[in-house]
Amino acid sequence: METIPKENGSTTAATPIRAATNPMVTPLLTDLYQFTMAYAYWKAGKHLERAVFDLYFRKNPFGGEYTVFAGLEECIRLIANFHFKKDDISFMRSVMPNCEDEFFEYLTQIDCSDVEVYAIPEGSVVFPKVPLIRIEGPVAVVQLLETPFVNLVNYASLVATNAARHRFVAGKDKMLMEFGLRRAQGPDGGISASKYCYIGGFDATSNVAAGNLFGIPLRGTHSHAFVSSYMSPDEIVVKSLRSHDGSSTCMDFLTLVRTWLSKLQVMRSGIPNFCAVALALNDLGYTASGIRLDSGDLAYLSTEARNFFLSVEKEFNKSGFGKMAVTASNDLNEETLDALNKQGHEIDAFGIGTYLVTCYTQAALGCVFKLVEIKDQPRIKLSEDVTKVSIPCKKRCFRLYGKEGYALVDIMTGEDETPPKVGQRLLCRHPFNESKRAYVVPQCVEELLRCYWPGSSNKPREELPSLNKVRERCMQQLEQMRSDHMRRLNPTPYKVSVSAKLYDFIHFLWLSEAPVGELQ
Ligand SMILES: Nc1ncnc2c1ncn2[C@@H]1O[C@H](COP(=O)(O)OP(=O)(O)OP(=O)(O)O)[C@@H](O)[C@H]1O
Ligand SMILES: O=P(O)(O)OC[C@H]1O[C@H](OP(=O)(O)OP(=O)(O)O)[C@H](O)[C@@H]1O
Ligand SMILES: O=C(O)c1cccnc1
Ligand SMILES: [Mg+2]
């Protein structure tokens, strides 16, 4: 078993890293051009050059000003098990018939034992331009990792953020259930949605496989088919029901239900029927769970249902009956949740599918993977579009907290710079806009990038936390955000900055790399 040194110097056995959740996540799950480049690096004798890549995104999704980072564990699982099988190599030979045998021998030997991965903990609230993951290693190997890493982070972070946004609108005390499996983009979309919506703050899923794989609480009601499958009460053949404590048996439960129904006022809905069954069950010591509304005006119907439950409680002295859980579903999204809140409603739990898991209002997060240094030489990607210019250098990243405990700004520095210190004023600069800068005296400094895969270095490796720990981190991080960054309408952008030294270097490199045009 692998042993790693702990920060305090002692060594403990590191928990072994499991295979990727989805068996389709293999070294072949990448774009052809990564192999083309790996071959070209190899051919040029460059393949072992040490390179540093940053994985980041450029813009927060859903018109918001924050993103929940997710997908890290699956990235680490991929690299922990990264090697080409014989069949993979044969396939690549058939795809690249003009490449030398030695190249395929090289591919056979590749693993990630010489790759270092630093990342922000999964479940953290993150912002544009700040590297979520920094990957360092032989350029050919890290190049092959680009597509799977971006793939594993993109949807995971997008859907976790979508879930967090739905939670924000619904409020803390509502039960949120992810109901999206049938509408998700295929099996992986469905499983991933269940996992990452849970991280983003959902309480449960209807997806049984996700419950089995990840231990996410399973919840569910029943569908229209079940109700409409009965054409008449005559179809109910087994009429007896044992009391909850087993002490007696009601021989004709249907008649008991009908007796209750005759006592309830008539309402043109299933509510009196439900109440009659619930009251009959109550007679036998059972507690009914509640109802689900799946059509019509959910604010109105939930309020009517609640009033009915309360009147039953009062009229028949059934303590607690008024608190019967009301679940709602049917094309819910942030807007409908917000509208329901504004109107007032009596819904306790929401089941949300299509809009949540398909991320209907934003198709992708747009993560990118950019080379920032090779052979100790910083690299920059230039673009006419300033938002696409990358931030060069192997960097360290910090989150600085202010007096009130809220996060104030993220700052990137060069690797060898003195890190920010509590109580010490430092200049934080916008990476590209000269006039945007601020002094900050941090009350707390959090280093964002931590070592999740030390490669051949002897750094201690962060353990991969359980899903519940990741979810807790997410909840706690969202709490620490100032409310103006979180609001849905015109939220304040969170500041992402670079140190004065890094700022000067970016602009020096930019000028030295940008060709000077000639006017004629
Ligand atoms: N009080 C409300 N305020 C705002 N939106 C609501 C309210 N009640 C329901 N909605 C939303 O209105 C839409 C109603 O859609 P639609 O008319 O297609 O459904 P329906 O006819 O009620 O039900 P079904 O799915 O059975 O056809 C859904 O997106 C639902 O979430
Ligand atoms: O509405 P969503 O947010 O996608 O949540 C999942 C939906 O799945 C079920 O609908 P069903 O498959 O029965 O289809 P229908 O409601 O369109 O008839 C359920 O009744 C919800 O309406
Ligand atoms: O349990 C439910 O009510 C449910 C589950 C998935 C989709 N729609 C409803
Ligand atoms: Mg529906």
Does residue 5 carry a pLDDT above 70?
Answer: no
Nearest ligand, CA of residue 300?
1
Compute the mean pLDDT over every residue in the chain, rounded to the nearest whole number.
Answer: 95
Atom of ligand 1 nearest to the CA of 296: 22
Q: Ligand 3 centre from 166 Cα, in Å?
A: 18
Which of 182, 295, 304 gets mutated to test ligand 1 (max ligand atoms within 8 A of its CB)? 295
Pocket flag, ligand 1, residue 343 (CB < 6 Å): yes
Pocket flag, ligand 2, residue 335 (CB < 6 Å): no
Pocket flag, ligand 3, residue 206 (CB < 6 Å): yes
Pocket flag, ligand 1, residue 297 (CB < 6 Å): yes
Q: Which long-range contacts (CB under 8 A, 24 or more apart) does 171-174 make?
A: 171/341, 174/347, 174/348, 174/349, 174/350
C-alpha radius of gyration, the chain, whole number: 28
List, for residues 116-175, the tens digit of each pLDDT value.
Answer: 999 999 999 999 999 999 999 999 999 999 999 999 999 999 999 999 999 999 999 999
Q: Which two tokens stand for residue 129?
A: 């331009």
Q: Ligand 1 centre from 158 Cα, in Å?
A: 25
Give me the amino acid identity at 245. Answer: D
* Cβ-proximal residues to 94 (8 Å cutoff; 6+ apart), any chain: none
List, for residues 430-475, the tens digit of each pLDDT value.
Answer: 999 999 999 999 999 999 999 999 999 999 999 999 999 999 999 9
Among protein residues, the one whose CA lies closest to atom 20 of ligand 1: 295
Pocket flag, ligand 2, residue 362 (CB < 6 Å): no
The rounded Cα 463 to chain-centroid distance in angstroms is: 19
Band of residue 267 on the pLDDT scale cut at 50, 70, 90: low
Band of residue 196 on the pLDDT scale cut at 50, 70, 90: very high
pLDDT for the residue 410: 98
What is the three-class DSSP state of 452? strand
Which of 177, 179, 226, 330 gets mutated to test ligand 3 (max ligand atoms within 8 A of its CB)? 179
CB 411 within 8 A of CB 429: no
Pocket flag, ligand 1, residue 255 (CB < 6 Å): no
pLDDT, average across residues 378-406: 94
ipTM (interface pTM): 0.94
Domains of the chain are: 17-163+362-512 (3.20.140.10), 228-328 (no CATH)
Pick the closest to residue 52 from 386, 396, 447, 497 (CA basis).
396
